[in-house]
Structures are given as C-alpha cells and as structure tokens.
C-alpha cells in the first residue's frame, strides 16, 4: 500500500460519506456551524482591517501576538484536515503505524523550538529570507527563498483547495466549481483585508474548535470503553483483521531506507515551511517566540494523542457496522472518513455536523496562512528587495502584497478546478520535500555555519529543490501511479534523504569553492547581530 497516498487521499474522496444518515438534517447542522465560523471570522477581519495600516501589521500583526496566542495560531496553521482525518484514518487502517506521520511532524518541533525560533525573531522581521539575507547577497538569496516558498505554497494550496471543494460541495449541495470559488474568495478576503491580524485569529479560533471537537470525540470513545485504554486496545486487536500486529510498527513501511527518507521529509520539512516560520515574527521578542513554539508543541502533541484514540475507537465502533461499511468491507468514503463516521456513531447527527464543519474550517484557516506567506514572499522579498533593491515605499509594498493575495487566490481557484478528481497526493509530498531540501538547509546553515557564502547557498539550495522535484516525478507516485508507466525510474516514494543530502553537500562544496565572495563585512555584521540579539535576551 502507498502510505503517502493513503494519508492524503482524503483530498480525492468523492465525499459520499453522509449516505448513512439523513443528509438534509446532517447538512443543516454542518451548515449552521460553518456559517457561525465564517460570520465570526469575517467580523474579526473587518476590525482587523482597521488596524492593518502598515507592513508591520500586515505581515506580522504588529508583533503584538502573545506567546499563547501565537502557539494556538501555529497549531491552527499546522493541524490540517490531513492531520485530523488522514492520521486517524491511518490508525484505523493499520493501528500503531498510523502514527508515523504525527511522530515525524512532532519531532520537527524541537528543531524549531531550540534551534530556529529565537534566532528567527532576532534576525528577521517578516519572512525567513530576512534572517538569511543578513550575511548573504539579498538579491540571490531572496530569489531562492521566494521560489522555494511559492512552490511550497502553491503545491499545498492545490491539495487543500481540492479537499475543501469536495467537502463544502457535500455540506451545501453546491457544484464543485462553486465550492472552490467560495473557499478561494473567503481566503482572499481574510488575507487582503485583515492581513496577519485576521489570519492569526482565524487560526486561533480554528485551533480551539478542532482541539475541542477532537477532545470530545476521544472522550466519547473512552466513555464507551469504560475510560480504559487497555480495554480499547484489546477490543481493537480482537476486531481488526491484523489482530495483535496493529500494536506494533512495521505494517505500512517495512523498508528502512523509505522510512528514514519519509521521516527526514516530515522532520526537516516542518522546520522549512514558510507559513509556519513567519509566525515567529508576530510576537514581541525572542522569548515569546520560544514560548509560542513550546505551546504549539504541546497543543500539536496533545492533538496527535487524540487522533490515536480516535483511530482505535473507529476500529472498535465502525468495523463490522453496516451503517458505515460498504458491501465489500471497506469504510464508506475511504479510511480517511473514520473520524467523520465515528462522530456520528458516538454523537449522532448534531455532532457529525459539528465535526464536518470544523474539518472544513480547518482547511479554510490553513489556506489563509499559506496565501499570506506567498503574498509576503512576492511583496516583501521579490518586489521590495529583488526588483526595487530595497528602494520602495511601504505603501507600494503592501499594495503589491495585497494584489499578490488576490492573484494567488485566483490561481488557487483555477488550479483547484482543473485538478478536480485528480490524484494530487504527490503535491503534498513535493511541498514537504522542497521545504526540507531548499528552505531548511539555507536557513539552518545561514544561522550556524560561518563559512556559508551567497553562491554556495544559492546554487546548493536550487540543487536541493530541483533534486526533490525531479525525484518525486521519477518516483512511483507520479511516474507509475499518475503517468501510468510500468516501473519507476527512481525506486523510492520519498526523496528527502537524497535531496536533503544533495542540498547540504552542494552548499558545502560551492561555499568552499567560492571562498573569495565570503565578505568579512557580512560575517562581522552577522556576528554583531547575534551578539546584540543575545544581549537583549539576557537583559
């Protein structure tokens, strides 16, 4: 079985999930919850627009978000529908091994917490390219970071739009095209009018709703099993076709190289996601950045524990239940609908409507964060520093960023419609691979290796990016599953091990060759910035 396709196939589900209940009643509850979320967030956007007067407020919410608020917002940005539906679906399918994604995602956070958060805040203002450009040539580094950011954002956006279109299509009974236009339009409104302030509060509300819904769902599962984890596990091993094997790893990936490569993509991809990294500029100081990362780690870790309970609860309550199982023994709407079905099994139509609407709100919040990151890369990095070489007015820069938001939204709508019903699972994999292979190495080495040069970073970063993209295309997911060829040219599904290695080696070699361009002025400025930053922390 293709693990990655399993995890992301929720994006392709025909969403006939509601066939087991009275769809009209169910849809009404879901619509009500969703409309409350949209109206609330639009009101927040209206008030946020009055405070979004300069690029500090547009890109970074004026640096006035607290550590707790930012921790919730980061968790909201990170806990996507794929995390909620996909991981619980994998646990339902394979048991313990279903946590392989959540473990990989979670392990990435200590890197952000201890190695990146404080230094990002100390050295940057709006995008992670600000931090890398202190000691490197801004022109080339901002081009590289912008390309990596925009590719990651667009690949992610397409996958989210396809999933959102299918879900809202079911909730409202609209055509797929209308559904995609609705999600794209809301995304444009949140970002272009409210900037980071509105996006932050959309994320916070969504995170609270998702944590609340998942907590109630897990609590109901435990209640059915007399609040006993051991009883839940025993029941699951009795019912599941793999028996005791679901309590042990090795069911999904039994090839060590693939497991290592997947783990590297999840860990270092997390630390290179532009829409996550830019959230550390919304807090007032480096200490708050570290606190927000700690809060985010706690919220996300707690959430993944809940998905584990939800997945095993789905095994116990859905397996062999004719209301949720097809005639051939599969789960209606695919394994990724396990959490949705489980909400109906334990809470009826009202709870099903709530969880369904929260799942859609989750996608809406994520695409807003993605769009803002893309607009920041275009307006701040490309326009202000590459095209205008830093000689532009703040008003023009914000205008370009807002126009970029509209353009990105239109592109996302257009591509979301084009890719209807297509297998877009590889796009999520490529997004993580690019973030891990291009963004993370440059950011990490610019912060920790004094001999890094601009040409080394530029050429090495592009080699990592191209290697990740080419290997995904030549691998089993695209070359065989999508293009229909008999055998892949590159035998592994996950290229991160190879592309990350290629990036680091290339950066090292090009930097060594390019010693002369290593400016002492840039190095001294870099060291001075660190000294100043840590002096401020101590004070």
* pLDDT digits 0-9 by tens, 156-200: 888 788 877 766 666 567 788 888 888 889 888 988 888 888 888
Of 57, 522, 123, 157, nearest to 363 by C-alpha is 157
Residue 14: the pLDDT is 37
Residue 7: the pLDDT is 42
Rounded Cα distance between 100 and 513, Å, is 39
Residue 406: the pLDDT is 92
Residue 211: the pLDDT is 93
- The list of the chain residues with pLDDT below 70 reads 1-27, 81-82, 101, 104-105, 166-172, 249-254, 329, 333-334, 336, 421-426, 515-539
**Encoding tokens for residue 410?**
């239109």
Q: How many helices (H) and strands (E) does the chain have?
A: 22, 0
Residue 505: the pLDDT is 95
Distances (CA, A) of 331 to 315, 321, 335, 353: 11, 10, 6, 19
Residue 33: the pLDDT is 80
Residue 539: the pLDDT is 42
Residue 21: the pLDDT is 41
Residue 215: the pLDDT is 94
Domain formed by 3-47+64-538, architecture = Up-down Bundle (1.20)
Residue 104: the pLDDT is 67
Rounded Cα distance between 68 and 46, Å, is 23
520: which residues sit within 8 A by CB, 6+ positions away?
none
Phi/psi for 498 (5° steps) reads -80, -40
448: which residues sit within 8 A by CB, 6+ positions away?
115
Residue 119: the pLDDT is 81
Q: With H, G, I as helix, E, B as strand and everything else as coil, classify residue 23.
A: helix
Strand partners, 325: 331
Residue 464: the pLDDT is 93
Residue 66: the pLDDT is 92
């Amino acid at each position: 079985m293709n693990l990655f396709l399993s995890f992301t196939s929720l994006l392709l589900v025909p969403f006939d999930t509601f066939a087991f209940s009275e769809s009209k009643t169910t849809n009404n509850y879901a619509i009500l919850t969703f409309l409350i979320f949209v109206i609330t967030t639009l009101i927040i956007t209206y008030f946020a627009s009055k405070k979004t007067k300069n690029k500090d407020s547009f890109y970074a919410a004026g640096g006035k978000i607290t550590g707790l608020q930012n921790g919730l917002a980061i968790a909201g940005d990170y806990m996507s529908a794929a995390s909620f539906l996909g991981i619980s679906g994998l646990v339902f399918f394979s048991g313990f091994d279903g946590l392989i994604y959540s473990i990989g995602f979670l392990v990435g956070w200590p890197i952000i917490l201890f190695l990146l958060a404080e230094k990002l805040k100390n050295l940057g203002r709006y995008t992670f390219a600000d931090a890398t450009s202190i000691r490197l040539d801004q022109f080339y580094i901002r081009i590289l970071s912008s390309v990596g950011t925009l590719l990651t954002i667009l690949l992610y956006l397409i996958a989210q739009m396809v999933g959102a279109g299918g879900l809202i299509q079911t909730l409202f009974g609209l055509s797929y095209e209308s559904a995609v236009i609705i999600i794209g339009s809301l995304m444009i409104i949140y970002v272009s009018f409210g900037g980071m302030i509105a996006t932050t509060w959309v994320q916070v509300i969504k995170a609270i709703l998702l944590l609340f819904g998942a907590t109630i769902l897990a609590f109901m599962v435990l209640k059915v099993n007399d609040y006993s984890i051991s009883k839940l596990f025993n029941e699951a091993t009795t019912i599941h076709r793999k028996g005791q094997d679901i309590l042990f790893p090795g069911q999904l990936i039994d090839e060590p190289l693939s497991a290592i490569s997947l783990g590297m993509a999840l860990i270092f991809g997390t630390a290179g996601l532009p829409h996550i990294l830019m959230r550390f500029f919304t807090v007032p100081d480096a200490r708050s950045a570290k606190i927000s990362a700690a809060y985010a780690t706690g919220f996300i870790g707690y959430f993944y524990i809940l998905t584990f309970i939800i997945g095993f609860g789905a095994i116990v309550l859905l397996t062999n239940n004719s209301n949720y199982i097809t005639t051939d023994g599969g789960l209606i709407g695919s394994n990724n609908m396990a959490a949705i079905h489980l909400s109906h099994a334990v809470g009826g139509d009202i709870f099903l409507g709530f969880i369904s609407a929260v799942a859609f709100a989750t996608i809406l919040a994520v695409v807003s964060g993605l769009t803002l990151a893309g607009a920041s890369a275009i307006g701040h990095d490309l326009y202000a520093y590459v095209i205008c070489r830093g000689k532009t007015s703040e008003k023009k820069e914000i205008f370009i960023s807002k126009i970029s938001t509209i353009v990105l939204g239109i592109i996302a709508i257009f591509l979301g419609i084009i890719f209807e019903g297509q297998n877009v699972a590889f796009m999520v994999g490529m997004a993580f691979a690019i973030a891990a292979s291009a963004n993370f190495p440059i950011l990490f080495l610019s912060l920790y290796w004094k001999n890094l040069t601009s040409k080394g970073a530029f050429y090495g970063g592009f080699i990592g990016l191209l290697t990740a993209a080419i290997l995904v295309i030549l691998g089993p997911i695209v070359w065989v599953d999508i293009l229909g060829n008999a055998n892949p040219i590159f035998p592994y599904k996950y290229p991160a091990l190879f592309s990350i290695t290629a990036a680091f080696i290339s950066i090292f070699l090009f930097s060594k060759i390019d010693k002369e361009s290593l400016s002492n002025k840039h190095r001294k400025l870099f060291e001075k910035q660190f000294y100043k930053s840590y002096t401020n922390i101590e004070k």
